[in-house]
Structure 1
């Protein structure tokens, strides 16, 4: 019984931090497990602690509050965040979708938590949601 409990706990842990997707090949159907990047883990921990993230994205300094984390339709790590300061091609503040592979020099910091008014509307940039601050942290939905 203890062996099954340990296996169950290991699978629970992997399902919360790893990207698990079905695969097929010569050996049949299986699972592909890809551990999250250090940037993904930083954003995940920032959401859980309601911390801001400062980073560089597309060559611009960004200051944001991450809200939804997971993967996009291509299986790439992605985040939907409220950018409240820093540099932008448009007006700030605004919702910003970031492909985590393109995020550089990310660090979490304490500070006020910001969000836009339309977060409760449907978003499509993160298709496989791992963590949503309003559902998993604040339990608002």
Structure 2
């Protein structure tokens, strides 16, 4: 796992930027909300608003678009500016990350 990938996503959270990355052979457009560790593994909680997913089509503003992704599973990661996307249910407690390094401020 590249520490630079972790830092790129962490910076995207701090600056409310969009992350475009490949995970499980799907190119995804996502807004990262939380980054840190779960059971010692670096993970991030994203809200996916574009691209494709193994769980079916991405429906805009759907509460089911949350993705808990291990950082090591991401490839071709880029960050870009754009409208920040989230869902109304962001206030629900997340279980993706136990040791939070950074969480977006809404």
Instruction: Name the TM-score class by shorter chain.
Output: 0.7 to 0.9
Where does structure 2 lack aligned partners over 5 or more consecutive residues? 60-64
Q: Which has the larger radius of gyration?
A: 1
- Deviations 1:44-80, CA, capped at 9 Å, x for gaps: 11111110000000111010000011011x2111000
Of residues 62, 87, 91, the one that matches 1:116 is 87
Aligned length: 99
Structure whose residues are more often helix by fraction: 1
Per-residue Cα deviation, 1:65-119 (whole angstroms, up to 9, x for no partner): 00011011x2111000100000112242400111000100101001110001111
Could you list the structure 1 runs, at least 4 aligned residues long, displaced by more than 2 angstroms after superposition. none
Deviates more, 1:104-113 or 1:85-94: 85-94
When normalised by structure 2's length, the TM-score is 0.88
Q: CA RMSD in A?
A: 1.3
Task: Give 5+ residue unaligned stretches, structure 1.
Answer: 1-35
The answer to which structure, 1 or 2, has the higher relative contact order (CA under 8 A, 6+ apart) is 2
Q: How far apart, in 2, do the equivalents of 1:79 and 1:62 lie?
A: 14
- What is the distance in 1 between the residues matched to 2:54 and 2:22? 13
Name the TM-score, length of structure 1 as normaliser.
0.67
